[in-house]
């Protein structure tokens, strides 16, 4: 459904963020992309969303190239990015502003109810906790019923408890109309809880190091032995991937 | 004692307790009234000589006298009209050019360097040229005020547009906003707080420049009253004019602030929690 073929991304400052990247994502799949900072995982998400364009290669959605943001693709950022001058419901309505007002209202309250914030209509963003604000951001991305939902480290700014709460909640939301989901994260546990397939990236330049499809039963138990085994295995991969970044494996960076 | 009370966050929709709202507002009067009273007493008790700094009662008396003859109204109206016109033109030009140079890079490269250079000229330095070009009557005065009002508005609006959070603009891009939607739905509300502050400082400068403009030679206006008081050696008249400036400046600023506050209720500032 979504295909990334031979994609390079070079920034104007000369930095090669991605090199020769190939990735195919099936409809309804949940894919997690993990990697240390600077491995190009956020860049990749920006290319898929159409916010940026690749220097070479193509990003294709259902056969047509993505060169600019498209209505079938929703994006949730690391921060909620709510407009502080709009109420919660007005923020969510951003995603469906072209619909008739009556339908907007119905869809907004339906989506807010789904994320558990139906009672917050008319409230200002400043009145929300971090977790609630990110729920509103999820609602804003979902209200237009995108076929693809992109998430850029969506829960990384939240405390551990709220984070696992929202991870479970995200799976419930996914179950409504099963969009294809691509999640970028540096949290292995998050990737394993959510994703069907996990792609580990490595930096300099950004490329895929390894791809795994953990055969873990759902719902996934964060303390299950098999889950933990996968977690450690991927942590090892991630560790190797980021050590490569120093460019010299015989001299791992050691702080005294 | 009531610390628990003041910590509790009022739930949305619940009316804030109306108590002491007036009291908070009145605190601002304590200092000026106290000083006025102290001076009045000092002169009454002959501790000080009120000749060069007339007592508040004499200043008020002068104001009342001027008001009776209708002079005060004429001066106030003349000055108000100049400020209003100059402010209007200054705001219009500052808003248009500030918006254009904030939004459109090419225009910024074209006009910003020149405006930044002109900004460094003290506006009073233009007075002789303005008189040559526009005569000594109303036009040159209004233009001088407009120049004073223009710069803070131009600078802060273009700066505010440039400073709009890229992250919010990206949200607009994700939802495929047109240029127009980007401006009306994101740039305009995002720059509104800075714009309102610039309007207020522009208005303050307008009041400053109207005095300079009326020094240029006017037949009426509060600035004329001031010069007249100086030339005829009547400090009470000078102070009466200064008092009128203070009151008018405060009232117009308050009007501007209260009108704009309605559009800024969403702000998450520490004042919002008050």
**Total structural domains in chain B?**
1
**Is the ipTM of this structure higher than 0.90?**
no
Query: Does residue B93 fall inside a structural domain?
Result: yes
How do residues A164-191 score in pLDDT, each as one tens digit? 999 999 999 999 889 999 999 989 999 9
On the question of pLDDT at A142 being above 90, the answer is yes
Fold annotation for A1-72+147-154+177-256: Rossmann fold (3.40.50)
Tell me if A61 sits within 8 A of A228, measured CB to CB.
no
Instruction: Please tell me which residue of chain A has the smallest CA distance to B264.
Output: A85
How do residues B221-232 score in pLDDT, each as one tens digit? 999 999 999 898
Tokens read off for A213 = 């499809």
Query: Does residue B220 fall inside a structural domain?
Result: yes
On the question of pLDDT at B233 being above 80, the answer is yes
Question: Which among A69, A86, A122 has the least Cβ separation from residue B174?
Answer: A69
How do residues B154-195 score in pLDDT, each as one tens digit? 999 999 999 999 999 999 999 999 999 999 999 999 999 999
User: Residue B81: what pLDDT?
Assistant: 94
Q: Look-up: residue for tokens 């829960």?
A: A155
Are B272 and A126 an interchain contact pair (Cβ–Cβ within 8 Å)? yes
Q: Are strands A2-10 and A56-61 parallel, antiparallel or unpaired?
A: antiparallel
- If you compute the radius of gyration of chain A from its CA atoms, what whole number of angstroms results? 19
Instruction: Please tell me which residue of chain A has the smallest CA distance to B265.
Output: A85
Query: Does residue B235 fall inside a structural domain?
Result: yes
Q: Where are the domains of chain A?
A: 1-72+147-154+177-256, 78-145
Q: Quick check: bond before A219 cis, omega within 30?
A: yes
Counting DSSP H helices and E strands in chain B, the numbers are 12, 0
User: Residue B265: what pLDDT?
Assistant: 81
- What is the side-by-side order of every strand in the sheet holding A197-202? A73-76, A148-152, A180-185, A30-34, A197-202, A207-212
- A to B CB pairs, distance under 8 Å: 49
Q: Quick check: bond before A205 cis, omega within 30?
A: yes
How do residues B83-125 score in pLDDT, each as one tens digit? 999 999 999 999 999 999 998 899 999 999 999 999 888 877 8
User: Residue B126: what pLDDT?
Assistant: 85
User: Residue B68: what pLDDT?
Assistant: 92
**CATH number of the domain that residue B111 is part of:** 1.10.3720.10
How do residues B82-91 score in pLDDT, each as one tens digit? 999 999 999 9
Supply the range of the domain harboring residue B192. 55-260
Out of A116-120, B10-14, B136-140, pick the least confident.
Answer: B10-14
d(CA A202, CA A20): 13
């Amino acid at each position: 459904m979504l295909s990334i073929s031979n994609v390079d991304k070079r920034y104007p400052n000369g930095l090669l963020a991605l090199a020769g990247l190939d990735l195919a994502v099936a409809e309804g799949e949940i894919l997690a992309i993990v990697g240390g900072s600077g491995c190009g995982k956020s860049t990749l998400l920006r290319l898929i969303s159409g916010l940026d364009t690749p220097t070479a290669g193509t990003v294709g959605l259902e056969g047509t190239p993505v060169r600019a943001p498209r209505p079938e693709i929703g994006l949730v950022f690391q921060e909620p990015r709510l407009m502080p001058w709009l109420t919660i419901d007005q923020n969510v309505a951003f995603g469906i502003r072209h619909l008739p007002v009556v339908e907007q209202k119905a869809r907004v309250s339906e989506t807010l109810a789904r994320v558990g914030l139906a009672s917050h209509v008319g409230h200002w963003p400043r009145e929300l906790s971090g977790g609630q604000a990110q729920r509103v951001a999820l609602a804003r991305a979902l209200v237009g019923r995108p076929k693809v939902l992109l998430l850029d480290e969506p829960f990384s700014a939240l405390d551990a408890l709220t984070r696992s709460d929202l991870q479970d909640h995200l799976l419930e939301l996914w179950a409504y109309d099963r969009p294809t989901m691509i999640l970028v994260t540096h949290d292995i546990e998050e990737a394993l809880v959510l994703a069907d397939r996990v792609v580990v990236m490595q930096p300099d330049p950004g490329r895929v190091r390894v791809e795994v499809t953990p055969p873990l039963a759902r719902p996934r138990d964060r303390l299950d032995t098999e889950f933990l085994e996968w977690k450690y295995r991927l942590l090892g991969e991630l560790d190797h991937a980021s050590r490569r970044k120093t460019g010299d494996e015989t001299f791992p960076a050691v702080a005294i | 004692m009531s610390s628990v009370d003041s910590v509790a966050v009022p739930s949305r929709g619940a009316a804030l307790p109306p108590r002491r709202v007036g009291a908070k507002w009145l605190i601002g009067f304590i200092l000026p009234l106290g000083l006025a009273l102290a001076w009045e007493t000092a002169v009454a008790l002959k501790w000080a000589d009120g000749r060069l700094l007339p007592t508040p009662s004499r200043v008020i008396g002068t104001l009342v006298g001027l008001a009776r003859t209708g002079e005060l109204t004429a001066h106030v109206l003349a000055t108000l009209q100049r400020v209003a016109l100059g402010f209007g033109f200054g705001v219009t030009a500052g808003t248009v050019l500030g918006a254009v140079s904030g939004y459109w890079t090419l225009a910024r490269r074209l006009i910003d360097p020149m405006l930044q250079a002109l900004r460094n000229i003290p506006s009073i330095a233009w007075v002789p040229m303005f008189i040559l070009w526009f005569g000594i009557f109303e036009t040159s005065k209004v233009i001088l005020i407009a120049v004073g009002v223009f710069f803070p508005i131009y600078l802060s609006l273009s700066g505010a547009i440039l400073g709009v959070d890229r992250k919010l603009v990206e949200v607009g891009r994700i939802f495929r906003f047109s240029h127009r939607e980007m401006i009306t739905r994101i740039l305009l509300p995002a720059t509104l707080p800075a714009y309102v502050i610039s309007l207020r400082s522009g208005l303050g400068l307008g009041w400053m420049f109207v005095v300079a403009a009326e020094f240029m030679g006017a037949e009426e206006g509060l600035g004329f009253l001031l010069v007249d008081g100086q030339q005829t050696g009547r400090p009470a008249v000078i102070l009466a004019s200064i008092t009128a400036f203070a009151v008018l400046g405060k009232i117009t600023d308050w009007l501007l602030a209260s009108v704009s506050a309605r559009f800024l209720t969403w702000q998450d500032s520490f004042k919002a929690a008050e």
